[in-house]
Amino acid sequence: MILVQDFEYKPGEHEAEKASGSYLMSLVALVGGLPFPIINLFATLGFFMANRKGTHFVRWHCTQALLSQFSLLFINSFGFWWTISIIFSSEQITNNYIAYIITIIIFNLTEFVATIYTAIKTGKGQHVSWWLYGDVTNLICKP
């Protein structure tokens, strides 16, 4: 699922720090923005925009972090509005709702663990490519 690969060049210490920062940014935003899924995306997008003129290594990891947040946005937003409708309208808690919330918790936790792991590895200058997200990033982010 997560592969530690060789990048096309050996990134410098400063680059590794910045690339690792993109994951940390999404982590901090994830904790701060838990009730509002869009906050994570905005925070990561902000970091991505700030580094869009950075080196290939930094841009690559900012893009991978952004993509991972983007996919979570959809599933989390659906869960968020479902919860709002239960609190403020006549919707009731059902088995389907609980099943959905558990599903998004599983996916968010997986992403959370993967993000911490990747932040540590990238901080050491290692190139970590995620399953699917790494492939999409390769297509988007050219040297």
Task: Catalog residues that contact another protein under the rule CB under 8 A.
Answer: 75, 89-90, 92-96, 98-100, 102-103, 106-107, 131-132, 135-136, 139
CB nearer to another protein: give 80 or 100: 100
Residue with smaller CB distance to another protein, 32 or 94: 94
42/100 with CB nearer another protein = 100
| Minimal distance, residue 10 CB to another protein, in Å | 27
CB 139, min distance to another protein, A: 7
The one-letter code for the residue type at 50 is A
Measured CA distances, 101 to 40, 92, 105 (Å): 18, 14, 6
Burial class (CB in 10 A: 0-12, 13-18, 19+), 58: buried
Least Å distance, CB 72 to another protein, is 11
Phi-psi region of 79 (alpha: psi -120 to 50; beta: other; left: phi over 0): alpha
Give the length of the chain.
143
